[in-house]
Chain A
């Protein structure tokens, strides 16, 4: 039986680790390579790096980080942030990323998903979606809207429709990131996660809001997520990855317990 996954998300700026709270006031909390290695040895199932480097001339720093991690961390490694063209995806893959996350650039130009899927394989392309709750309307029937620029720009696109379109275009996996919950540590957006997970046939990763082990249990059970993304709750040392896995295992959720 397939295990549920815990995925740690590391935001990286200029080659250094940062963790954002509602995408403002990011603060540096250490070396991404060291942190990745620590989680890997503690039973982490998968790793995501999100490059939040602002200036494009510093983008190559990220390739170095990915390469250094890939040399000593032997679990799937996913990288996103600033992927605008197939070339960005293939550069990151060559540096050692297994999967590539696309987000804003795919919202602006959906064909990017199909192009990347064609170039690196559909199973390696992850569509990451930033989503806010709105009142349901004719334009947004699901009541969830796609936003970009870290949540600042609403796009007038329905999140459920975009998830289905992304799957159709060749995304192999979806990240459902609730901007409302992100950084709050008050729990995942269960309703949103379940709505999308039930609508698509590809795996869904829940993101945004994790603060307690119970939050992970809820989104993996009621939210029907295939994986739960964690960030600050492990980055600041409140919980260890192994501790979360033991808790979830105790809640009868199938986890990988031998590493």
Chain B
């Protein structure tokens, strides 16, 4: 069973629909116990890091996610799901889950003509092979909407990058966890392919 973690952080039905479309039947749940029995977990989310952490803690989902990570369940973080997987977010100075060492900071450009949030389609470059990212080809673009971006401390945990004024981490992971900053469920064919590659990922690395 695949669980989509529900913690009042955005529209999860679009993730569920995209999963359905690629044959990955997924249940939306906020029940911490269900994560312990899940075959795989999708940890999506949009919104603010502070309220997201509050909601995760209120339902015991923070501990359940850490436990699922430790027990080897394949986990895919999406957008805010990736951001709260690091140690800390600049957004409301929020202490986050610490699945991956690193922090999340806001785009800060001196050039005021650069729009924030970073919204739209941008190329994702795989910088380190990963089974879930194996179908991404040069020039493939994904849909992004975010004002903050992840900065993992361990370079080997960065698997893909995109560029908005400067390069930033678009996918990071460790062991059975991979998080992506973009929205595969809104990224057309290439996004659906990523979800289907996640559906067949056993949680191990190619390396």
Q: CB within 8 Å of B: which residues of A? A: 1-5, 40, 45, 70-72, 74-76, 93-94, 96, 98, 121, 123-124, 172-173, 198, 201-203, 224, 226-227, 256-259
Q: Given A121-B46, A203-B119, 5 more contacts at CB 8 Å?
A: A1-B163, A71-B20, A74-B188, A226-B115, A259-B190
Judge whether A121 and B10 touch: CB under 8 Å.
yes
B 92-127 binary contact with A (CB < 8 Å = 1; else 0)? 000000000000000000001101111111110000
Q: CB within 8 Å of A: which residues of B? A: 10-11, 13-14, 17-18, 20-21, 46-47, 112-113, 115-123, 137, 139-141, 143, 145-147, 163-164, 185-192
Residue in A1, A72, A74, A202 whose beta carbon sits within 8 Å of that of B186 in the complex: A74
Judge whether B118 and A258 touch: CB under 8 Å.
no
Chain B residues within an 8 Å CB radius of A172: 117, 119
Chain A residues within an 8 Å CB radius of B185: 74
Chain A residues within an 8 Å CB radius of B46: 121, 123-124
Q: Separation in Å of the B88 CB from the closest CB of chain A?
A: 21
Judge whether A72 and B21 touch: CB under 8 Å.
yes
Residue in A5, A70, A224 whose beta carbon sits within 8 Å of that of B14 in the complex: A70
Q: Given A70-B14, A259-B188, are A45 and B120 neighbors across the interface (CB < 8 Å)? A: yes
Q: Given A172-B117, A198-B113, are A258 and B139 neighbors across the interface (CB < 8 Å)? A: yes
Chain B residues within an 8 Å CB radius of A72: 21
Chain A residues within an 8 Å CB radius of B13: 70, 94, 96
Judge whether A74 and B18 touch: CB under 8 Å.
yes
Judge whether A203 and B123 touch: CB under 8 Å.
no
**Interface of chain B, helix or strand or loop or mixed?**
mixed
Q: Separation in Å of the B62 CB from the closest CB of chain A?
A: 21
Residue in A2, A71, A74 whose beta carbon sits within 8 Å of that of B120 in the complex: A2
Q: Separation in Å of the A94 CB from the closest CB of chain B?
A: 7
Residue in B120, B139, B189 whose beta carbon sits within 8 Å of that of A203 in the complex: B120
A201 to B185, CA, bound (A): 26
Judge whether A201 and B116 touch: CB under 8 Å.
yes
Judge whether A259 and B189 touch: CB under 8 Å.
yes
Judge whether A123 and B119 touch: CB under 8 Å.
yes
A70 to B143, CA, bound (A): 16
Judge whether A258 and B190 touch: CB under 8 Å.
yes
Identify the closest chain B residue to A45 (Cβ): B121
Identify the closest chain B residue to A202 (Cβ): B115
Judge whether A121 and B47 touch: CB under 8 Å.
yes
Judge whether B11 and A201 touch: CB under 8 Å.
no
Q: Separation in Å of the A3 CB from the closest CB of chain B?
A: 5
Q: Separation in Å of the A77 CB from the closest CB of chain B?
A: 8
A124 to B79, CA, bound (A): 14
A70 to B19, CA, bound (A): 12
Chain B residues within an 8 Å CB radius of A226: 115, 119-120
A257 to B123, CA, bound (A): 10
A71 to B185, CA, bound (A): 11
A71 to B18, CA, bound (A): 8
Q: Separation in Å of the A128 CB from the closest CB of chain B?
A: 16
Identify the closest chain B residue to A198 (Cβ): B113
Chain A residues within an 8 Å CB radius of B186: 74-76, 98
Judge whether B120 and A75 touch: CB under 8 Å.
no
Chain A residues within an 8 Å CB radius of B164: 1-2
Chain B residues within an 8 Å CB radius of A76: 143, 186
Chain B residues within an 8 Å CB radius of A257: 139
A95 to B21, CA, bound (A): 16
Q: Separation in Å of the A130 CB from the closest CB of chain B?
A: 22
A65 to B194, CA, bound (A): 27
